[in-house]
Structure 1
Amino acid sequence: MKASDVVKQIQEAVGEAEKTGIRELQFSNLNAYLANVLATAVEQERGEPSMTEAQANHQLEVWKAQLSAHSTMSVEMFKSAVEAGQTALRSAIVINGGAAATVLAFAGNAITKGPILPGMPLLTHIGTALLWFMFGLGGAGIATGFRYLSQFAYNVSHGGAARWGRAGAVSNVVSICLGVGSFFAFFVGGVAAYHAIVLPTT
């Protein structure tokens, strides 16, 4: 019950008393009437909702906007993570493949144009570098396959299959480890190639 409703009820009660010819009001009767109005107001307030319909609609719109923003942010973060992983694997494939091709070209020129025979320290170090580059290239390729498997498993797990979700998580971890190993193999192969050129006799 609103305050205006209480005032209106009191005015109506006073008007009805005045119509009946009453010119004076007893405090006991007035207090009893006000106590009755107060009890009615308290009882109605208990049954009223904690917010008006307009407030409820406003809260609903705010919640919908927050949910939409959160969903959009989650989707964009997922897309950025996928694109970052794809870019990293492509970079690993390019740098390891390019390094392997460079080492092969160097070894070919060294054998055909110089007095270098198979088994010499230079070719041994170059072969070691080439092997590491091939490990890096193969690891990046396998990581790409596990990346696809993880996305497939996550897609299937949306239907409620928990085991597919676990499989997707495992595939994702394997893909990350292989990607990191691919970059590690590139650096190890680069060190081996450095030793082959700078310190060919060691």
Structure 2
Amino acid sequence: MTQQFHGNTLSDAALDQIFNEARSYNGWLDKDVSESQIKAIYELLKMGPTSANMQPGRFVWVTSDEAKERLAGYASDGNKDKVRAAPVTVIIGYDIDFHEELPWLFPHVDAKSWFEGDEEGRKEGAARNSALQGAYLMIAARALGLDCGPMSGVDLDAVTKDFFADQPRVKADWICSVGYGDPESIFERSPRPDFKTFNRIV
């Protein structure tokens, strides 16, 4: 049962859908994901906080058979069929030159100047914050009734060269299939540690 806190706590059913009962799927039901659903996921994920609202995530939503086959060609053997079968697989990348967009994304101060001349710092910030955006993507998809299958078993350099060829400052980081998960494709849930195992309150 959900602990009672002050404020507007989500229902047990909502928390189960997003976290407690949600799983990473390896197979997919034969049900389409529409362009409007894809856009709805983005409209939610973009609201998640990033440092200085940098929004470094760049997303390619792979839906066509031709694009799926290209992406599957870069995936590890265990992930090829997952990519082919999923209605959508999104490539989560990050823009090393995200700071060029800060004048309109974070207009309160001259935030662009914080990052100029520091490419390594930009890479670190972009990777961290785009990973957050990828997590927001999964939460958004689950909140909208979809399932996710995140994967890192893919040749990211090859994915970058292919799918971000027109954006040379963008690097692919990981991929995540989205759709309606096949319950037959999941394993028994792996253990989750209790609070005291990896936490301290000081």
Q: Please tell me the TM-score bracket, short chain as reference.
A: under 0.3
Whichever structure has more strand as a proportion of its residues is: 2
Whichever structure has more helix as a proportion of its residues is: 1
TM-score (norm 2): 0.23
